[in-house]
Structures are given as C-alpha cells and as structure tokens.
A and B are shown apart, each in its own frame.
Chain A
Amino acid sequence: MTILRLNKIDKRFGGIKALKSVDFEVEEASIAGIVGPNGAGKTTLFNIVTGYYKPDGGYVIFDNKNITGLKPHQICKMGIARTYQIVRPFKDMRVFDNIMVGAKFGRPLDKRNPEKWAREVLEFTGLINRANEFARNLTFTELRRFEVARALACNPKILLLDEVLAGLNPAEVTVACEMIKKINKEFNITIVIIEHVLKGVWALAEKVMVLHHGEKIGEGKPEEVFKMKQVEEAYLGTRWEAVA
C-alpha cells in the first residue's frame, strides 16, 4: 500500500525552479532514499511534504488524505516527522524535555503514557544516560541521534531523515544504519532518507529516487539506479568521449 504519494510537485523560488513536476511514491513500512547533488531540491521536497512550503503545483497524498497546504503542526499530528540537516535542538531544555515535546504534541499516543514513551525512545537511541543534560551540551554524534530521537518521539507513521549520516565516520555510519533499520522493523515506521553518503543509501533503501536540478532523473532499486547513465553524469559529469 502506498502511504505517501507526491503528484507533479512544482516549486519555484522567484525565477528558480526548485522542483519540476516531481512524482514519487513510498510504500508503507519500506525505506526509500532520495539522492542527488547539492541544490537538487531534496530538502525542498521534505519542506513541501511537512508543510513548511506550499507547492506551486501538484499535491501530496498521505495515508489517502490530501495534505497539501496543511500547517506543519497538523501534518506532524497526522504522523509525519522529520529531522533537520542542521540540527535544531531546544538548546535551553534538557534532553528529556526535548523528547517530551514530541511525545506530548506529536501524533497522539493512544492513551500510552508520554513519559514512558519518551524514556523508551531515549533508551532506543542510547541517549538515556544523557537525559538530564541540557541539549546544548550534547556532542556532534549525540546530536545526530538526538535529532532522530526527537522525530521518533512524535510517534510518526513516516519518518523523513535529512542527511542523518553526514559527518559521521564509517563505524558510526554502520551503527546509525542499524538503528534506522531497527526503527523501520521494530516500530513499523516508513522511512524516507535523504543522503549524500551513498554507502548508507545502498545498505538501507529498497527504492531510490535521484533528483538533479529539481527534476527526477532516475528511480528504482539502488543497484540499478546508480548504473544509469544520466545519474552517473549528474554526479560525475559527462564522459570525455561522449562529448567528443
């Protein structure tokens, strides 16, 4: 079953077309990836799904409901949570309270105790020992996990991860990938991941979309997509022989 469907999404910023008629479908309980060079429009796409921007054309269907034009907090309550590429913690709050915001204001927990749920999330992401720390005192890698924990606390049906692996070393990437897989399996949450670290996408995603200058230039299984000529060109440039 398709849980998230983007239909011909257009977005312009002044004269720049950030997204040109992008279609994308995500299956329930799957992991999908979005890759592309800088400025391809990946984060813009997330901003449209979460309601931060309104698209200039097209619509977003989530869980059989049209969510185009809804406010971000409404969309969050329906079950879409995201992380930010540049982490945005509530710096002057303790880690535990940061998580509690998600547990209290995100998608309703159906009578589950929010504090218990927050604890569960912290245990899952390995931040339980840092719960009393102020968020501004977390280290870089902790902040990455923290960002995921906060999104997870909103009790989402679908989790949008924006470059959560960026800046991690290879060992940390492996650990993080395991965590993302576990979120997908144990909590039964659909995941869409934007990534520059191709190793991560390769290991995780069942389906990948490649964006370039706001256009979809490829879609399919990772191993197929990365062999496509146009994808190679977007990442590495045109082959010399091809030009000559």
Chain B
Amino acid sequence: MPKFRSIPLGRFGNVYVLTIICFAILTAMFMVGLIGAYISSLIIFLMVYIVLAISWSILSGYAGEFTFGHIGFFGVGGYTVALLSFHNIDIVIPFNILLGGCMAALFALIVAYPLLHIRGWYFALGTWAVAEIARTLILGFPAVTNAGAGIFVEHPYPPAFDYFGALILGFSAIIVFYKIINSRLGLAFVSVRDNYDAARMMGINTTLYRTIAFMIHAFLAGLAGGFFAQYKVFVDPYSAFEFSWIFKVIVMAVIGGASTFAGPIVGAVLVLIFEEIGKTFFMRGSLLLMAIMLVVVFRFMPEGIVGALSGRSSAPIFFKKIQRLLKRESS
C-alpha cells in the first residue's frame, strides 16, 4: 500500500516534541540567568511577532484572503485590556488577554458580514477600512477611551511574568496553527483559496469557512494585542493601530512562506534580526532591509523561504535560468 502525504503544507517533523524542547530550553536559560533584560525583551517581541505572522498566514496564506486590516484586531485586543484597566474592572491576567482575543473575534464576526461579500483586493482594502474605523471609534469617544491621550495599563507583575506569558502565548499559537492546518478546517481553507467555485461544488460552505478563518485570525491578533498592551503598559490609538506593523507582519509571513507551517515563524525570526541590525545603522534602517528582502524573495522565491526549501516553489528553476543566462553571456 503506498503511503499518502495528507495536507502537504503543514508537515514538519514532530512539532509537539520540537515545541516542548524549545520551550524547555528557553525556560531553563531564563532560570539560570542566561537571558538578560535585552534578550528577554527580544524574545517577547519575537513571540508577539510569531502570533501575528501566524494569524496573518491563516487568513491570507491558507484561506487565501489577503488582509491589510490585521492591525485593527491587534488594536481591538489591546484596547480591550487597556479599557478594563482604565475603568477599574479587575480581571485576572490571562483572562483579560483572552477577553481581548474574544472581543477581536466578535468584532471580526460583526464586520465579516459586509466584508466577506467582497473578494480579492476589494476585501483587502475593506479590511484596511475596518482597521481605520476601529481607530476612529476609539478617537471619537474620549469619555470612554481617553481618545488620543492614551491609557496606562496597570501592570503589577514581575518581568518574569511577561517573559513566560510571551512564551506560553507564542508556543500555544504555534501548536494551534499546526492543529488547524492539518485538520478538516485547514483542508477547507486551502480548497477555498485554490478554487472558490470548485470548493463550493464539492460541499464546502465557503461563507462559513471564510468567516471561521477571519475569526481565528482576529482572535490570535487580539490575543497578541492584549498581551502587548499589558507588556507595554500603555496604548494609544496611534501606536495600537500603527500601520508599519501591518507591513512588518506581511513581510514576516511572505518572506517565510505564508502557506507553509514553518514560514511565519522563520519570517518572524528574520524580521526581528533585521530590525535589530537595521537599528544599529540608522533610523528606520530596518524598514529598508525588510523592503530589500521582500523584493528579493518575491523575485526568486514567490512562495517564501520555507516554501522554496520544501520544493513547492519554482525557485530552483529561476536559479537554473539565471545560471544558464550567465553561462551564455560569458561564452
């Protein structure tokens, strides 16, 4: 009997074991004191990036709906946590962040109805509009949201709390991502992406699955936003909905490979490294590095680095073509 590889896009060794090992190593290193304040802040950022990249990949890489509105849900999550603190509603720490995720998912459900009637680039622009709407709403009700002045979030926890919180958030997002893409849900997402009409004709309720993808993406972005607000201790409508974050997240997912399992994670690591290197050269140097990387990846590995390595991309053919061209010119 031949063995069949089911859903090709997700397989990646034994993910559970790998995840636990990584988690254990990072925990141990922190315990022994190998990780100082700087490294631990990097790891916290990395985890937030991973969650965001994964959330973008689920909707755009797997379900095939390109979105610019990602940061809107990040902001909704952040503002949920901030507003709870602002109005002195006490909810213990993991639950206020979870509530942030749920509020983002709820917001997604509400806007899904008008948004999911449009497709492709119109959808992408629509999501951007939604993010702006969320920001404007916050600016529009100063009595409730303190508008442009921003909100300080109470944060009575020690730094280790942030570190482990980030690890738990990041690694559980990875596991959830892996679970989703290797399940019936993932199969439905990829079918809808690859051929909308054929998916409908084969019994997939496309509206339902697109809504689910949209809500999962919003939930994860909201979690990241809630955590980030708690970690940063401050949100305002400009930082919580900052547009450059959308660019960053798209770069992560795309250079890693948005429709692969490891892609968003690899992309998040790369972007973090670029940021740190870029910062040392000049202001916004990281954006320049990322932009160059994006162009290179688009040209030679349209399916991202992980996509190219796992042989799903036409990258090898490109390289061969270039080699041939060079040979011809030299001879």
Contact = CB atoms under 8 A, between A and B. Distances in A.
Counting chain A CB atoms within 10 Å of each CB, which of B4, B201, B205 scores highest?
Answer: B201
B195 interface: yes
B2 interface: yes
Nearest to B207: A71
A89 B202 CA distance: 11
B155 interface: no
B203 A91 contact: no
Contacts of A102: 202-203
Contacts of B9: 92
A129 to B, nearest CB: 8
A154 B4 CA distance: 19
Interface string A43-77: 00000001010000000000000000001110011
A86 B305 CA distance: 32
B6 A96 contact: yes
B204 A105 contact: yes
Interface residues of B, number: 27
A50 B201 CA distance: 7
Interface string A139-176: 00000000000100110000000000000000000000
B190 A90 contact: yes
Counting chain A CB atoms within 10 Å of each CB, which of B6, B198, B206, B312 scores highest?
Answer: B198
Contact of A73 (B5, B187, B193, B200): B200
A94 to B, nearest CB: 5
B302 to A, nearest CB: 12
Contacts of B2: 128-129, 131-132
B142 interface: no
A100 B187 contact: yes
Contacts of A76: 200-203
A91 B197 CA distance: 13
Counting chain B CB atoms within 10 Å of each CB, which of A50, A77, A97, A104 scores highest?
Answer: A97
Given A128-B2, A131-B4, A105 B202 contact: yes
B94 interface: no
A82 B4 CA distance: 25
A106 interface: yes
B8 interface: yes
Contact of A72 (B193, B194, B200): B200
Given A73-B204, A105-B203, A132 B190 contact: no
Contacts of A153: 202
Counting chain A CB atoms within 10 Å of each CB, which of B8, B191, B194, B203 scores highest?
Answer: B203
Contact of B194 (A90, A96, A128): A90
A90 B197 CA distance: 10
Contact of B204 (A97, A101, A128, A132): A101
A107 interface: yes
Contact of B4 (A71, A90, A132): A132
Given A93-B8, A105-B188, A131-B4, A73 B203 contact: yes
A229 B195 CA distance: 42
Given A90-B194, A101-B187, A101-B199, A73 B205 contact: yes
Contacts of B194: 89-93
A194 interface: no
A150 B204 CA distance: 13
Contacts of B203: 73, 76-77, 102, 105-107, 154
Contact of A90 (B6, B198, B205): B198
Contacts of A101: 187-188, 191, 199, 202, 204
A81 interface: yes
B184 interface: yes
B282 to A, nearest CB: 40
Interface in A106-129: 106-107, 115, 119, 128-129
Given A73-B205, A107-B203, A90 B191 contact: yes
Nearest to A153: B202
A24 interface: no
A35 to B, nearest CB: 23
A81 B203 CA distance: 9
Interface string B1-17: 01011111100000000
Contacts of A88: 195, 197-198
B283 to A, nearest CB: 40
Interface in B172-204: 184, 187-188, 190-191, 193-195, 197-204
Contacts of A129: 2
The 4 closest A-B pairs by CB, nearest first: A90-B194, A76-B203, A105-B203, A88-B198
16 contacts: A72-B201, A73-B202, A81-B201, A89-B195, A90-B195, A90-B198, A92-B259, A94-B4, A96-B5, A101-B199, A104-B184, A105-B191, A105-B203, A131-B4, A132-B5, A153-B202
Given A90-B191, A93-B191, 11 more contacts: A52-B201, A73-B200, A73-B203, A77-B203, A82-B201, A90-B198, A93-B8, A94-B4, A96-B5, A97-B6, A106-B203
Interface of B: 2, 4-9, 184, 187-188, 190-191, 193-195, 197-206, 259, 312
